[in-house]
């Protein structure tokens, strides 16, 4: 029986070869059905978690110009590393720009702080600088700079910061370098830009130590240059440092020759600023950020100690920066600025006086413009035909002053030189004018300082000054007459008699005088004495020959 049972449990395949029958339990197939969905679920959950954990942070960036910004291609970079990408760009709500939606990588979202600034990097090719050339191949990209407040935190504190701001306005120009770079930010002021441009070098002993970052026009119409000194060289700047313009070529031409000044080739093309510190600076403290300095026109003007005053003139003809200020033929300063007054009533002139002339800045000092006097025989101020008009001054007394009202002409009654002031009166002015000489025996001893009409309008007042050395010649009975022109006496039997003074008197005019002989001359006179001015001399006056000592004792 057992043999039959065994045979009956085998399956015959028709060839007489028994086939084994495999039997699988139902519980085994159920496990296989659920394993694959479970694995797929776990993978999906992991992908969701990974996507969530690494998802970027979305921010909005307002751009003045969206040209070249491409969604999915324009990136946000920092130091060459991509940390975000523009996902969308649309027209801004105010229709004045574009709004870019930017996705910042989560690990870099710490940059989204209130003081962070963004700007677009694009190629800039100018004489002064070449930058952003990598964008010629890769296209424009966006970069950023952390603000000063964030930078004060330690690196670990910054890494733990959460994003706090999600909307920004992109800058149109790259910002100035932040203070945490370790360099020195300074402000220089000047009346005009000259040929200095953004990116121009800042030099010390012709070595580049910084650059010009920004140039702005401020409310008073002056120009402010924001410059940056690299951290390695910031200790070169001291409180007494002097900055000057080294742009282009400076040409000084005058009667004494021509001087040509040129700094580096770079400064010739794009301008430049140089600086130095006078004296021993080893004990001088360094300056702080945002310290302000004046920017001088040249090195010479930078190291020339000066006093600044302002003079108002009714007429600015011939006045310009560089116009000389002279006293007794010596230059004591120069005009640095000329501005039209607000009410258009005249001009305000800023003058820089040298240290030796600082005492001229007194309350009662008087300033006026010296112009060329042209006439048949006038030879005054001919230097102004070549060098131009200049300002001169009569020093005054009083407290220190820095604002003056300029005169239209030279002072009349009061003059610069010491001497005897007298007043001549005449019915007609004739050819008399300020500047003509007063002669004694055809020798010049004085000068007409000014003329005016008397208060009663019945005569002309001629304010004259006799030089101090010749004041003893003037006495109570001294006679004055006009020495200009030619006098002719004609008689039937005596013939013609021609009288004339020097050729200068004949052409330009003049005044002559004579004093009676010693017993008739009268006493000496004081300042302010009045004398009649006669049209011509009496024959007797020409014969007077008193003996007068030209000394202070007489």
pLDDT band at 7 (very low <50, low <70, confident <90, very high): very low
Q: Per-residue pLDDT for 484 more than 70?
A: no
Q: Where are the domains of the chain?
A: 57-169, 179-302, 306-405, 419-543
Contact 291, 299 (CB under 8 A): no
Strand 57-63 and strand 167-169: pairing?
A: parallel
H or E element, residue 300: helix 299-302
Helix (H, G, I), strand (E, B) or coil at 12: strand
Residue 279 has a pLDDT of 65
Q: Per-residue pLDDT for 8 more than 60?
A: no
User: Cα–Cα distance between 315 and 302 in angstroms, integer?
Assistant: 29
Task: Give bridge partners of residue 390 from the DSSP assignment.
Answer: 370
Q: Which two tokens stand for residue 232?
A: 């390695």
Q: What is the DSSP letter of 509?
A: -
Q: What Å distances lie between residue 1 and 6, 11, 194, CA to CA?
A: 9, 18, 126
pLDDT in tens, 93-136: 888 889 999 999 888 888 889 989 999 987 654 444 444 444 44
pLDDT in tens, 488-503: 444 444 444 445 555 4
Contact 512, 537 (CB under 8 A): yes
Q: Mean of the per-residue pLDDT values for the chain?
A: 78
Report the sign of the C-alpha dihedral through residues 31, 34, 36, 41, in that order: negative
Q: Which of 389, 380, 391 is nearest to 326 (CA)?
A: 391
Report the sign of the C-alpha dihedral through residues 30, 35, 36, 42, in that order: positive
């Amino acid at each position: 029986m057992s043999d039959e049972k065994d045979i009956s449990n085998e399956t015959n395949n028709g060839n007489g070869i028994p086939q084994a029958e495999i039997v699988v339990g139902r519980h085994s197939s159920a496990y296989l059905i659920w394993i694959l969905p479970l694995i797929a679920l776990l993978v999906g959950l992991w992908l969701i978690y990974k996507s969530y954990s690494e998802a970027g942070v979305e921010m909005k960036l307002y751009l003045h110009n969206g040209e070249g910004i491409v969604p999915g291609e324009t990136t946000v970079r920092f130091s060459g590393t991509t940390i975000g990408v523009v996902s969308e760009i649309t027209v801004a709500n105010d229709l004045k720009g574009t709004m870019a939606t930017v996705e910042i990588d989560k690990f870099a979202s710490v940059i989204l702080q209130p003081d962070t600034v963004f700007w677009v990097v694009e190629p800039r090719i100018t004489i002064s600088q070449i930058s952003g050339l990598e964008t010629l191949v890769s296209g424009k990209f966006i970069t950023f700079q952390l603000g000063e407040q964030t930078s004060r935190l330690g690196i670990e504190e910054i890494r733990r910061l959460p994003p706090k701001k999600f909307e920004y306005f992109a800058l149109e120009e790259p910002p100035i370098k932040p203070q945490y770079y370790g360099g020195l930010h300074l402000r220089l002021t000047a009346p005009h830009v000259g040929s200095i441009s953004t990116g121009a070098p800042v030099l010390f002993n012709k070595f580049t130590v910084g650059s010009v970052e920004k140039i702005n026009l401020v409310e008073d119409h002056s120009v402010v240059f924001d410059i940056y000194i690299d951290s390695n060289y910031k200790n070169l700047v001291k409180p007494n440092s002097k900055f000057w313009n080294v742009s282009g070529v400076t040409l000084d031409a005058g009667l004494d020759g021509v001087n040509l000044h040129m700094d580096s080739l770079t400064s010739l093309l794009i301008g430049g600023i140089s600086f130095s510190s006078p004296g021993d600076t080893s004990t001088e403290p360094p300056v702080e950020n945002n310290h302000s300095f004046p920017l001088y026109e040249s090195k010479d003007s930078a190291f020339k100690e000066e006093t600044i005053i302002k003079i108002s003139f009714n007429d600015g003809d011939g006045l310009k920066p560089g116009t000389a200020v002279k006293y007794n033929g010596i230059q004591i300063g120069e005009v640095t600025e000329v501005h039209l007054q607000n009410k258009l009533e005249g001009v305000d002139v800023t003058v820089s006086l040298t240290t030796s002339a600082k005492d001229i800045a007194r309350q009662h000092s008087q300033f006026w413009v010296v112009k060329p006097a042209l006439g048949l025989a006038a030879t005054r101020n001919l230097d102004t035909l070549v060098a131009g008009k200049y300002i001169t001054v009569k020093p005054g007394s009083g407290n220190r002053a820095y604002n003056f009202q300029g005169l239209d002409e030279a002072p009349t009654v009061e003059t610069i030189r010491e001497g005897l002031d007298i007043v001549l009166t005449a019915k007609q002015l004739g050819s008399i004018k300020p500047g003509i000489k007063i002669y004694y025996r055809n020798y010049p001893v004085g000068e007409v300082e000014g003329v005016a009409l008397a208060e009663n309008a019945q005569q002309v007042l001629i304010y004259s000054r006799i030089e101090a050395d010749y004041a003893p010649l003037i006495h109570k009975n001294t006679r004055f007459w006009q020495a200009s022109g030619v006098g002719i006496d004609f008689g039937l039997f005596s013939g013609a008699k021609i009288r004339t003074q020097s050729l200068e008197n004949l052409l330009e005019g003049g005044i002559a005088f004579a004093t009676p002989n010693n017993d008739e001359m009268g006493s000496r006179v004081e300042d302010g004495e009045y004398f009649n001015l006669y049209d011509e001399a009496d024959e007797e006056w020409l014969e007077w020959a008193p003996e007068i000592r030209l000394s202070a004792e007489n």
